[in-house]
Structure 1
Amino acid sequence: MKTLYLVRHAKSSWKDEHLSDIDRPLNSRGKRDAPFMGKLLYKKGIDPDVLISSPARRARATAFAFAEALDYPKNRIKINPMVYEASVPDLFQVIEHWHDDLDAIMLFGHNFSYTEFANLYAKSPIDNVPTTGVVAIEFKVNRWKDVSAENGRIVFFEYPKKYL
């Protein structure tokens, strides 16, 4: 059994219009929501084997906040450039290359691909994975390269507005 936690980055700031998209930081709501959601997952007993982030500043900041809440060493967070602007097929390509000794992966990235990917496994359509939303998907496989649209199921879908 393999578990993928898709975490959409926390709310980002658009204050500085001169920053490139990849360099946008978290805004005050994002700085509140990321630690909150990390603590929520900690209370659920979530203990990922590895945290992998898009290189975008807002995704990395979200991953750092989750790492702190989950007692995961920040220096072990992996940055994967393919996650930034990834399509659903790109996400499958990223997933299939993970080591099979890792059973639980937390991936920090972006919409629209996260919502589209989650909907492959949703019983009821998810309109949008909101900022700092987390979708946990379990796959009945032993190897990451065997993950497909047919062998997973959503275990939970959490987001800040359910609680705040």
Structure 2
Amino acid sequence: MKTLLLMRHASSGWDELSLADRARPLDEKGERELARMTRRYATRGVRPELIVSSPALRALATARALATTFGQSADDIRVDDRLYCGSARALLHSIGELDDAFDRVAIVGHNPELTELAHHLARDIEFLPTCAIATIEFDAPSWAEALRRKAASATLDTPP
């Protein structure tokens, strides 16, 4: 069984227009969303063995909070440039290359590609708002095989 957690980064600020897009930090709303979502998700018992994040500051901050929630080191977060301004196809490629030793992987990134990917993998998921987590399970022995199969189950958790 392979479990994929697709998490859209928490809300980010647009206050500092001189910042490059990659450097935009979380805003106060994002910090609140993230605290609530990580607390709530910790009770669900689906602990990712690996967290892969976009290199953008807002995604990395979200990934770090997720890692902290599950007692993991922020140093263990894998950064993948394909998760920033990529496409759903690029995300599929990245997931297909994951080490099959990991059964539960969290991907932290951006829209629209995360929503497109979630919808492709689980038709019931139509939109990922900021800080949402789509949990998609596959009855498959490998990530490459999982991506060729229909999801066994899918849920979407959104910030309250």
Shared fold (TM-score greater than 0.5)?
Answer: yes
**CA shift for structure 1 position 31:** 0.9
SS at match of 2:121: coil
In structure 2, the residue corresponding to 1:60 is in which secondary structure? helix
CA–CA separation in structure 2 for the residues paired with 1:111 and 1:135:
13
TM-score when normalising by structure 1 = 0.92
- The answer to which of 67-76 and 110-119 deviates more is 67-76
1:153 Cα shift?
Answer: 4.1
The CA distance in 2 between the partners of 1:13 and 1:27, in whole Å, is 5
Name the CA distance, whole Å, in 1 between partners of 2:46 and 2:110. Answer: 21
Q: Distance in 2 between matches of 1:74 and 1:19?
A: 24
1:130-149 residue CA offsets vs partner (Å, 9 max, x unmatched): 00010011112111122325
- Structure 1's unaligned 5+ residue stretches are none
Q: Percent identity, aligned pairs only? A: 32
Aligned residues: 160
Q: Which residue of 1 aligns with 2:105?
A: 105
Question: Which is worse superposed, 8-17 or 40-49?
Answer: 40-49
Which structure 2 segments of 5+ residues have no match? none
Q: Which whole-Å CA distance do the structure 1 matches of 2:28 and 2:118 have between them?
A: 27
Specify whether residues 153 and 18 from structure 1 end up closer, same or farther in structure 2 by C-alpha distance, changes over 3 A only. farther
1:120 corresponds to which residue? 120
2:43 corresponds to which residue? 43
Query: Could you say which residue in structure 2 is the equivalent of 1:28?
Result: 28
Deviates more, 1:141-150 or 1:36-45: 141-150
The aligned counterpart of 1:137 is 136
Q: Judge conservation of contact 1:139–1:151 (CA < 8 Å) in 2.
A: yes
Does residue 79 (structure 1) correspond to residue 94 (structure 2)? The answer is no
CA contact 2:138–2:149 (8 Å) conserved in 1 = no
SS in structure 1 at match of 2:41: helix
Name the residue aligned to 1:55.
55
Q: Distance in 2 between matches of 1:153 and 1:87?
A: 24
Partner of 2:5: 5
TM-score (norm 2): 0.94
Q: What whole-Å deviation, never above 9, does each CA across 1:71-128 have from its counterpart, x for those lacking one?
A: 22111111111111121110110001111110000010001111111112335351x2
Alignment root-mean-square deviation, CA: 1.4
Contact 1:6–1:114 (Cα < 8 Å) also in 2 = yes
CA distance in 1, matches of 2:153, 2:83: 20
